[in-house]
Amino acid sequence: MRFANLHDDIGNDIYDHKDQKDQKDRLDTFHYPRFKQGNMCFSAIVCCFDGGQDWNTMCDTIRYVENAILHSKHFSFDDTKDIQVFMAVEGMCGIDKDPEERIDWLYMHHVRLASLCWNDDNALACGAKKGNKPLTDLGKRVIKEMNQVNMAIDTSHCCEWNFYDIARISTKPIIASHSNVKGLYNHYRNLSDPQLQVIQSKNGLIGGIPVRWFVDKKENNATLEDFIQVLIYIKEKIGTNHIALGFDFMDYIPGMEDSNVIGMKDITQIQNIATALQEHGFAQQEIEDICFNNAYNFMKNYI
């Protein structure tokens, strides 16, 4: 089964290893074999900015990651190499002025999906962990410019007020690239049933995330079966046409080796999801759509 991933902080991983001589080609030497083992064929390469970075730092990181992809043997922004990727930004804390110019710069450097904030409260938006308040005027301008340049809008991490502001202002579909559901686990990052319905009405996507503390309380050690229940829940609420996957792998970060649900330890075991969906009675077309088609078909409109 082919897989597509709407969220993976590989951009930060590549940048964090830039000063290690033996890791200059980390995208190809470390990540590529893992992608191949899991049959991950299409993926976001995310640069996450947690609120402490200025615009210059954002630009330096994005340029470095873009260059790594452009010079990769196996990854490319089109379908000319083995694995097609697109760049995404999680948190635009560096945009504190000139939002139109800065969104245009991001687009010129292959960013095709972005969220306004991470868990921080910045000049554009407020993360769900920080509170609940409207988008700023700058944030509204960012949404309009993202629509204008054809950059997809990610609502994962933003507070509910921001979510509804984004849905109202955006003239294009919105996604939650790596979010689960409050109906099964009331985590501040998960989506309520009304939010699911808004994403459906906007013809958007929800990328289910198999990181265990977004599936259940961290101490409960959520399993793959628990995660499959999330996908079943979304299917029952809004149908499989709006389900994708946003894995947010962290197992390659020291101390985060056990971040994924039990039964799918890392990217090399993602085929277990397809097997589990089949065991739960999902049709073959539904499985293919959830694992690959929905994310790929959505993002191909932007890349």
Please give the Cα distance from 274 to 276 (Å, whole number): 5
pLDDT in tens, 232-261: 999 999 999 999 999 999 999 999 999 999
pLDDT band for position 202 (cuts 50, 70, 90): very high
Residue range 65-84: average pLDDT?
98
pLDDT in tens, 258-285: 999 999 999 999 999 999 999 999 999 9
Residue range 77-83: average pLDDT?
97
Residue 158 three-state SS: strand
Flag whether pLDDT at 21 surpasses 90: no
Instruction: Report the pLDDT value the prediction gives residue 34, as an integer from 0 to 100.
Output: 98
Instruction: Report the pLDDT value the prediction gives residue 123, as an integer from 0 to 100.
Output: 97
Flag whether pLDDT at 204 surpasses 90: yes
Instruction: Report the pLDDT value the prediction gives residue 39, as an integer from 0 to 100.
Output: 98
* Closest to 277 (Cα-Cα) out of 228, 240, 243: 228
- Write down the mean pLDDT value for the chain: 97
Cβ atoms within 10 A of the Cβ of 115, count? 30
Cα torsion 46, 10, 43, 261 to 10°: value is: -110
Flag whether pLDDT at 24 surpasses 90: no
Instruction: Report the pLDDT value the prediction gives residue 163, as an integer from 0 to 100.
Output: 98
DSSP for 80-147 reads: SSSEEEEEEEE--TT-SS-HHHHHHHHHHTTEEEEES-SSSB-SS-BBTTT---PPPHHHHHHHHHHH
Instruction: Report the pLDDT value the prediction gives residue 170, as an integer from 0 to 100.
Output: 98
pLDDT band for position 22 (cuts 50, 70, 90): confident
* Closest to 302 (Cα-Cα) out of 127, 174, 138, 166: 174
* The two structure tokens encoding residue 112: 């095709």
Which residue in the block uniquely carries the two structure tokens 């994924």?
Answer: 260
* Closest to 38 (Cα-Cα) out of 166, 210, 243, 216: 210
pLDDT in tens, 107-144: 999 999 999 999 999 999 999 999 999 999 999 999 99
Alpha helices in the chain (DSSP H): 10-16, 26, 32-38, 55-70, 99-108, 137-149, 160-169, 193-201, 212-215, 224-238, 271-279, 284-288, 294-299
Cβ(237)–Cβ(197) below 8 Å: yes
pLDDT band for position 155 (cuts 50, 70, 90): very high
* Closest to 238 (Cα-Cα) out of 271, 277, 208: 208
Residue range 25-30: average pLDDT?
96
Flag whether pLDDT at 192 surpasses 90: yes
Looking at the chain, the whole-number percentage of residues with pLDDT higher than 70 is 100
